[in-house]
């Protein structure tokens, strides 16, 4: 067992022998070794080992997938590699020239004086296997020497030629005229220190013999020529660098680029600088990498220049002053010649390709794994999957069930190219040749506790990599994003509650792709301005998925194909939730519910925090303030409401034996995480000393189910709020501390708050069923969510409702999420919008922030604006802290109450539409709340909009997020957008209608920013032309509102068309869709006619009454309206708003036709 816990994975379809079969979400550690596997490999096409040519110093060229499959021996065009000459360790100029003179004499004997070309040098072995060491820097920019001829290179081709990598871009074995920097060849002797170096060559202009010169004159002439060449070479190299064309298309030719200080992005590629047998060592490594394209060679610690150069890296302090370097720009960075892995034995396989990666030179991280296995799997037309792992030892792999594909895709939307030495993978979009992934930009690292994979990015517009307090589009200005789940109030730049190693990148023209690294170890993701991205993980394997899109919403769906589609929540879970830490008795809790009812505020779910527990222990309730706890919950049920309680994972261990059943029973079954002695690891949380269940253990799943069921028998709760599940620990590690080992003090520690992996959590080296906590920490919240989901299904027999604080990829399949302990501030109100959007992109649509804030006192205006925005969170809960002022809606002035009531009434009217959106997310991987760019990717103005949100395709919400504002500016993509306030909805339900204010009925946008009036009682919501949404009369609970009549809001395009959908079931039964117990209706409008199409109708929804149809965008007043052949006499039409209101009496589950003329 290595420090990273080398544990393989078991077939996810097989039943777990150690536990119950239904536990499909987690695969136990198992048998796959990562060696040859079962995929048959085809015979390699000849000797594919990379060779070098002495004239160019370059490696063998790369192979495309087509040539591999066809057995071609042609040297194809690779991509993504800046060309560099073969270079030895740089040193002072004088010493280098001495070495070259000695090399020339050793290779050719006593060189002939004159103009005849030198013979080729015989092969010799590399002098050293150490990484190349740059010469010391004397200034911020490295000086350049003129190209010197070296024996073994063809006449007319200078060592300054980028031949070492030119063969990657040309099938020629020599540098082309464009690839080389030619300088006049020198004849004669150049005095170099105490000795003489022979320089000989021929030139196209030197075809005749010249009279002999004196040695002194010859030396002077040579020195002048060399100085001229040096100056010219420096100018050429500095201002007209030859680099590969930017990998944005299919071309891979070389071209002149702008000077380094004018370039936006150059991607230098590392190269093996070891002298190859048969080739002499070339000129020194050059370190003139543009600052934005430098990849950090000191990610583990701050080091000096001497230490940096000892690693074989370049050291250039960032410039200060007017062009002050951005924070994070590395001073110590990899040179283009830094050694990496070499690709060998590349061959076709049943799923794609397989190869061996070898490294001869260890890195500066301990326990390098020098031989790796690469498997490339072309799983679907739009999904590529590759893994890099140790073929000799089993290593930990994330135990999540992922799809298995029997054969490779026949017509993929991507191409794959490989660079042989140094190894790299380039993935292009077939349609336009754009490079989506290019790992040749920096060396690959694969040590036992440090893995690094870097790639270029096609643009600076990248989102994902949650959970962090950040804008929707992440900054590529040297941003480090740390993924290591932690209990911490949302703070900029800090690792927070969840880890989602997935990003979505937008490309020019509106296309998009996504990349998912299936790795749960602590990691950093570094974004830099070139733009590029580096994954740095502390363990596991490299398990990479690339999603081709090309639409952004397709990228999300393809990602969810891998991690799982969201669960379908119960209908009541979409209502309004109310909670506070401080409802210290059933009497206070009852009073809160009564006050909400008296003030006519909807309330579906009442919650309690820790207050209900006995000594803050799970599965108990105190017999003082909550002695009639079960009766209170039953009262809520009789009123059509539900109840949710908090449950922490940590189990009290401080009581005497036999005094607390959950701990006693857990101890007996062996369900707790253990320390190095095999005893339960003991930390401290709310009840004091606590043990932590290991939810990867099948025995713990059964134990958790039993504890939930037993408590449910006492208190019939409806949902679970699982908190503190990062897991949080009030002490570092455990009561006994943590061992002093590699897992607790790894060679690389990501940028975690607290500086160690044990900060605010348990020891990394503690033991769990599948592996060490070092590997499984980021999965803790997910595994508890899976256990709680299952436990609720067993205890209640209905659709589960679980809200969790900690999350990982695939969390939305089992539970929702709230964004943690947010501050009551305008800044965190605004920050909640991009976080809600982010989690929807990650497949967790049931998400929301604490309305009005949790930490600190709110204000009336802030709470009103937060309630208005919260009405459009997919999950809406007002939650308050222990010592704060009250913030229930009824606690404020009448004016504020009216504004909050209006927002809640609107939410309840829209619940049928919201429920339909959740159905689409559940069955098709759609988002519920979505950013504007997801619907309008070709409009680049939408890409950075993160203070507005869409509900599905149809509703655009523009909230007020600043104090003291009575208007708000939002972006409206091209089209017509109707003000939803023109649709009368309150008359359908039981709540009093608020006063209406005059508004602009529609916005006809060409893609523009619009300033809207937004008084305190208003949140701007607009319905997009071309869509129909179902509405329902609001009530004080969803139990009440589901009995109200329904309406349709029809937003016509200029052509008079629109479309919509309704999904309806009983709202809580398990597998309603699978059993066919639902109703699904499509609504269509065209040619002054509205009709429905019955997709599926059962008793659930068949009796829904349609009472009103409101048509927006009717250009002229109709003379008559007909419903199912009968004239409608009491319709109304407003010539000012262009709105037609049609009262009807129809059933949703029966076909109808409404027309006007």
CATH of the domain at 967: 2.60.40.1180
CA atoms of 1144 and 855, how far apart (whole Å): 49
- Is the same domain home to 551 and 432? yes
Q: Which two tokens stand for residue 92?
A: 């002072």
CA atoms of 461 and 929, how far apart (whole Å): 20
Element (H, E) at 839: helix 826-841
Residue 929: what are its φ and ψ, rounded to 5°? -90, 130
- Is the same domain home to 992 and 1046? yes
Domain total of the chain: 3
Q: Is residue 650 within 8 Å of residue 724, measured between CB atoms?
A: yes
* Catalytic annotation present for 723: yes
Q: What is the pLDDT of residues 602-630, one digit of tens each?
A: 999 999 999 999 999 999 999 999 999 99
Q: Is residue 546 within 8 Å of residue 384, measured between CB atoms?
A: yes
Task: Among 547, 563, 579, identify where a domain stops.
Answer: 563
Q: Is residue 805 within 8 Å of residue 559, measured between CB atoms?
A: no
Counting Cα atoms < 13 Å in the Cβ hemisphere of 583 gives 24
Nearest to 534 by CA among 524, 547, 545: 524
- Under 8 Å CB-to-CB from 332, ≥6 apart: which residues? 296, 297, 298, 303, 305, 308, 311, 313, 314, 315
User: Which ranges in 528-600 belong to alpha helices (H)?
Assistant: 552-563, 586-598
Reported in sequence order, the residue ranges of 359-430 that DSSP labels E, i.e. its strands, are: 371-380, 383-389, 414-419, 424-429
- Is the same domain home to 452 and 377? yes
Sign (positive/negative) of CA torsion 1076, 575, 839, 974?
Answer: positive
Please state, as a whole number, how many other Cβ atoms lie within 10 Å of the Cβ of residue 403. 13
CA atoms of 850 and 824, how far apart (whole Å): 9
Name the pTM for this structure: 0.79
CA atoms of 988 and 680, how far apart (whole Å): 58
CA atoms of 597 and 889, how far apart (whole Å): 11
CA atoms of 745 and 756, how far apart (whole Å): 8
- Is the same domain home to 53 and 36? no
Q: Is residue 356 within 8 Å of residue 330, measured between CB atoms?
A: no
- Is the same domain home to 1089 and 1002? yes
CA atoms of 429 and 417, how far apart (whole Å): 12
Q: Is residue 569 within 8 Å of residue 846, measured between CB atoms?
A: yes
Predicted pLDDT at 168:
33
User: For position 521, which CATH number holds?
Assistant: 2.60.40.1760
CA atoms of 1133 and 1118, how far apart (whole Å): 8
- Is the same domain home to 78 and 198? yes
Task: Give buried/exposed letters for 563-597 (b at 16+ CB in 10 A, else e).
Answer: bbbbbbbbbbbbbbbbbbbbbbbbeebbebbeebb
Residue 959 lies in a domain: yes
Residue 283 lies in a domain: yes
Q: Is residue 405 within 8 Å of residue 53, measured between CB atoms?
A: no
Residues of the chain with pLDDT under 70: 1-285, 320-326, 986-998
Rg (CA), the chain: 34
Please state, as a whole number, how many other Cβ atoms lie within 10 Å of the Cβ of residue 1134. 13
User: Which ranges in 659-697 belong to alpha helices (H)?
Assistant: 661-669
- Under 8 Å CB-to-CB from 575, ≥6 apart: which residues? 602, 603, 604, 605, 876, 908, 911, 1037, 1038
- Is the same domain home to 142 and 26? no
**Cα 227 to the center of its chain, rounded Å:** 52
- Is the same domain home to 12 and 93? no
Q: What is the pLDDT of residues 412-423, one digit of tens each?
A: 999 999 999 999
Burial class (CB in 10 A: 0-12, 13-18, 19+), 818: buried
CA atoms of 721 and 635, how far apart (whole Å): 20
Nearest to 105 by CA among 85, 128, 124, 129: 124
Predicted pLDDT at 902:
97
* Domain housing 96: 48-294
Nearest to 198 by CA among 210, 207, 189: 189
Classified as helix, coil or strand, 1003 is strand
CA atoms of 558 and 810, how far apart (whole Å): 13
Residue 1015 lies in a domain: yes
Classified as helix, coil or strand, 1142 is strand
Residue 684 lies in a domain: no
Strand partners, 462: 505
**Whether residue 531 has a cis bond before it, omega within 30° of 0:** yes
Question: Which 8-state DSSP code applies to residue 1095?
Answer: E
Checking DSSP bridges between strand 424-429 and strand 802-804, what pairing results, if any?
unpaired
- Is the same domain home to 267 and 414? no
Task: Give buried/exposed letters for 496-524 (b at 16+ CB in 10 A, else e).
Answer: bbbbbbbbbbbbeebbbbbbbbbbbbbbb
Checking DSSP bridges between strand 605-608 and strand 642-647, what pairing results, if any?
parallel
Residue 911: what are its φ and ψ, rounded to 5°? -60, -40
Q: Which two tokens stand for residue 614?
A: 């006995």
- Active-site residue (options: 53, 726, 1061, 1141): 726
**Whether residue 550 has a cis bond before it, omega within 30° of 0:** yes
Please state, as a whole number, how many other Cβ atoms lie within 10 Å of the Cβ of residue 310. 14
Q: Which two tokens stand for residue 762?
A: 């348990």
CA atoms of 770 and 23, how far apart (whole Å): 14
Q: To the nearest 10°, report the CA torsion of 871, 873, 874, 880.
A: -90
Residue 192 lies in a domain: yes
- Active-site residue (options: 723, 784, 926, 1040): 723
- Is the same domain home to 140 and 30? no
Residue 914 lies in a domain: no
CA atoms of 1 and 186, how far apart (whole Å): 61
Which residue reads 């369900």 in tokens?
A: 671
- Is the same domain home to 29 and 89? no
Q: Which two tokens stand for residue 313?
A: 């890296």
Question: Which 8-state DSSP code applies to residue 813?
Answer: G
Strand order across the 1126-1128 sheet: 1126-1128, 1121-1123, 1153-1156, 1089-1096, 1079-1086, 1058-1064, 1027-1032, 1046-1051, 1105-1112, 1139-1147, 1132-1134
Q: Is residue 1099 within 8 Å of residue 1078, measured between CB atoms?
A: no
Residue 651 lies in a domain: no
Element (H, E) at 651: strand 651-652
- Is the same domain home to 243 and 144? yes
Task: Among 517, 541, 563, identify where a domain stops.
Answer: 563
Predicted pLDDT at 14:
35
| Largest CA-CA distance found in the chain, in angstroms, rounded | 117
Predicted pLDDT at 221:
57
* Catalytic annotation present for 726: yes
Predicted pLDDT at 1000:
81
Nearest to 810 by CA among 849, 839, 834: 839
Nearest to 980 by CA among 1028, 947, 932, 945: 1028
Residue 687 lies in a domain: no
* CA triple 617-621-626, angle to 5 deg: 145
Element (H, E) at 528: strand 523-528
CA atoms of 943 and 461, how far apart (whole Å): 8
């Amino acid at each position: 067992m290595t420090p990273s816990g080398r544990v393989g994975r078991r077939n996810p379809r097989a039943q777990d022998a150690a536990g119950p079969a239904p536990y499909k979400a987690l695969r136990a550690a198992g048998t796959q070794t990562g060696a040859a596997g079962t995929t048959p490999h085809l015979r390699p096409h000849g000797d594919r080992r990379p060779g070098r040519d002495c004239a160019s110093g370059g490696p063998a060229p790369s192979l495309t997938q087509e040539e591999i499959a066809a057995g071609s021996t042609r040297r194809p065009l690779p991509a993504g590699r800046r060309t560099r000459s073969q270079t030895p360790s740089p040193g002072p100029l004088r010493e280098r020239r001495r070495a070259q003179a000695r090399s020339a004499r050793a290779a050719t004997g006593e060189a002939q004086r004159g103009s005849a070309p030198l013979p080729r040098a015989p092969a010799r072995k590399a002098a050293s296997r150490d990484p190349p060491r740059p010469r010391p820097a004397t200034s911020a920019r490295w000086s350049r020497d003129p190209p010197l001829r070296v024996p073994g290179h063809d006449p007319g081709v200078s060592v300054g030629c980028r031949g070492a990598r030119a063969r990657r871009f040309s099938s020629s074995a020599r540098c082309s005229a464009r690839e080389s920097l030619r300088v006049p060849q020198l004849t004669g002797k150049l005095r170099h220190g105490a000795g003489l170096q022979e320089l000989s060559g021929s030139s196209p202009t030197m075809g005749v013999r010249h009279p002999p010169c004196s040695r002194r004159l010859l030396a002077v002439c040579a020195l002048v020529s060399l100085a001229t060449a040096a100056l010219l070479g420096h100018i050429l190299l500095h201002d007209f660098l030859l680099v590969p064309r930017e990998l944005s298309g299919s071309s891979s030719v070389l071209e002149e680029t702008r000077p380094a200080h004018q370039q936006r992005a150059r991607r230098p590629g590392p190269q093996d600088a070891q002298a190859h047998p048969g080739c002499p060592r070339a000129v020194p490594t050059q370190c003139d990498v543009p600052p934005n394209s430098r990849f950090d060679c000191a990610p583990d610690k701050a080091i000096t220049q001497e230490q940096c150069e000892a690693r074989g890296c370049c050291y250039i302090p960032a410039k200060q002053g007017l062009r002050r370097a951005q924070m994070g720009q590395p001073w110590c960075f990899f040179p283009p010649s830094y050694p990496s892995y070499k690709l060998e034995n590349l061959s076709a396989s049943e799923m794609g390709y397989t190869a061996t990666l070898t490294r001869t030179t260890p890195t500066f991280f301990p326990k390098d794994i020098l031989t790796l296995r690469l498997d490339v799997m072309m799983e679907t037309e739009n999904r590529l999957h590759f893994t890099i792992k140790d073929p000799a030892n089993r290593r930990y792999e994330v135990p999540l069930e992922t799809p298995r594909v029997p054969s490779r895709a026949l017509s993929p939307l991507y191409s794959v190219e490989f660079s042989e030495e140094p190894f790299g993978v380039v993935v292009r979009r077939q349609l336009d040749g754009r490079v989506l992934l290019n790992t040749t930009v920096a060396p690959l690292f694969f040590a036992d506790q440090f893995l690094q994979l870097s790639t270029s990015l096609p643009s600076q517009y990248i989102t994902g990599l949650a959970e962090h307090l950040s804008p929707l589009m992440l900054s590529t200005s040297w941003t480090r994003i740390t993924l290591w789940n932690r209990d911490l109030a949302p703070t900029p730049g800090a690792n927070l509650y969840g880890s989602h190693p997935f990003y979505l990148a937008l490309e020019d023209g509106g296309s998009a792709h996504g990349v998912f690294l299936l790795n749960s170890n602590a990691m950093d993701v570094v974004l830099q301005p070139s733009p590029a991205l580096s994954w740095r993980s502390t363990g596991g394997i490299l398990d990479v998925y690339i999603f081709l899109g090309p639409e952004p919403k397709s990228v999300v769906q393809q990602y969810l194909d891998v991690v799982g589609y969201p669960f379908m929540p119960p209908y009541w879970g979409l209502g309004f939730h109310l909670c506070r830490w401080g409802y210290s008795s059933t009497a206070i809790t009852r009073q809160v519910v009564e006050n909400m009812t008296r003030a006519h505020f909807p309330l579906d779910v009442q919650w309690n925090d820790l207050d209900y527990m006995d000594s803050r222990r799970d599965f108990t309730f105190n017999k003082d303030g909550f002695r009639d706890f079960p009766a209170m919950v039953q009262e809520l049920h009789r009123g059509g409401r539900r109840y949710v309680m908090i449950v922490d994972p940590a189990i009290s261990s401080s009581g005497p034996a036999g005094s607390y059943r959950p701990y006693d029973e857990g101890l007996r079954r062996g369900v707790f995480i253990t320390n190095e002695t095999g005893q339960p690891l003991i930390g401290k949380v709310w009840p004091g000393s606590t043990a932590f269940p290991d939810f990867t253990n099948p025995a713990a799943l059964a134990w958790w189910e039993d504890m939930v069921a037993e408590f449910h028998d006492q208190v019939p709760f409806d949902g679970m709020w699982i908190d503190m599940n990062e897991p949080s620990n009030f002490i570092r590690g455990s009561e006994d501390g943590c061992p002093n080992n590699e897992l607790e003090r790894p060679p690389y520690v990501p940028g975690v708050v607290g500086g160690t992996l044990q900060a605010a959590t348990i020891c990394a080296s503690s033991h769990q069923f599948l592996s060490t906590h070092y590997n499984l920490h980021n999965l803790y919240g997910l595994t508890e969510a899976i256990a709680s989901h299952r436990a609720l299904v067993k205890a209640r027999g209905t659709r589960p409702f679980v809200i969790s604080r900690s999350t990982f990829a695939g969390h939305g399949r089992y539970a929702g999420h709230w964004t943690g302990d947010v501050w009551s501030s305008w800044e965190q109100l605004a920050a909640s919008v991009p976080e809600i959007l982010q989690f929807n992109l990650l497949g967790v649509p049931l998400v929301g922030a604490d309305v009005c804030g949790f930490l600190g006192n709110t204000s009336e205006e802030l709470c009103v604006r937060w309630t208005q925005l919260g009405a459009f969170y997919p999950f809406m809960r007002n939650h308050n802290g222990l010592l704060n002022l009250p913030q229930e809606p009824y606690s404020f002035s009448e004016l504020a109450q009216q504004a909050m009531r209006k927002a809640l009434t609107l939410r309840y009217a829209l619940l049928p539409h919201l429920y339909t959106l959740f159905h689409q997310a559940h069955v098709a991987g759609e988002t519920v709340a979505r950013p504007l760019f997801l619907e309008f990717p070709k409009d680049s103005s939408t890409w950075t909009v993160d203070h507005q949100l869409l509900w599905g395709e149809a509703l655009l919400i523009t909230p007020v997020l600043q104090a003291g504002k009575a208007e708000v500016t939002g972006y409206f993509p091209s089209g017509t957008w109707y003000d939803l306030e023109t649709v009368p909805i309150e008359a359908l339900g039981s709540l009093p209608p608020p006063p209406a204010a005059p508004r602009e009925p529609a916005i006809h946008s060409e893609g523009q920013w619009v300033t809207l009036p937004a008084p305190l009682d208003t949140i701007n919501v607009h319905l997009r032309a071309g869509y129909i949404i179902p509405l329902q009369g609001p009530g004080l609970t969803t139990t009440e509102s589901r009995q109200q009549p329904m309406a349709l809001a029809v937003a016509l395009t200029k052509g008079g068309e629109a479309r919509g959908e309704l999904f309806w079931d009983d709202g809580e039964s398990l597998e309603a869709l699978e059993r066919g117990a639902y109703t699904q209706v499509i609504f269509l409008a065209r040619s002054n006619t509205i009709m429905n199409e019955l997709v599926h109708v059962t008793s659930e929804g068949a009796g829904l009454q349609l009472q009103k149809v409101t048509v927006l965008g009717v250009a002229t007043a109709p003379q008559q309206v007909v419903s199912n052949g009968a004239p409608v006499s009491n319709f109304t039409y407003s010539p000012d708003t262009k709105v037609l209101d049609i009262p009807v009496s129809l059933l949703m589950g029966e076909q109808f036709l409404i027309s006007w003329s």
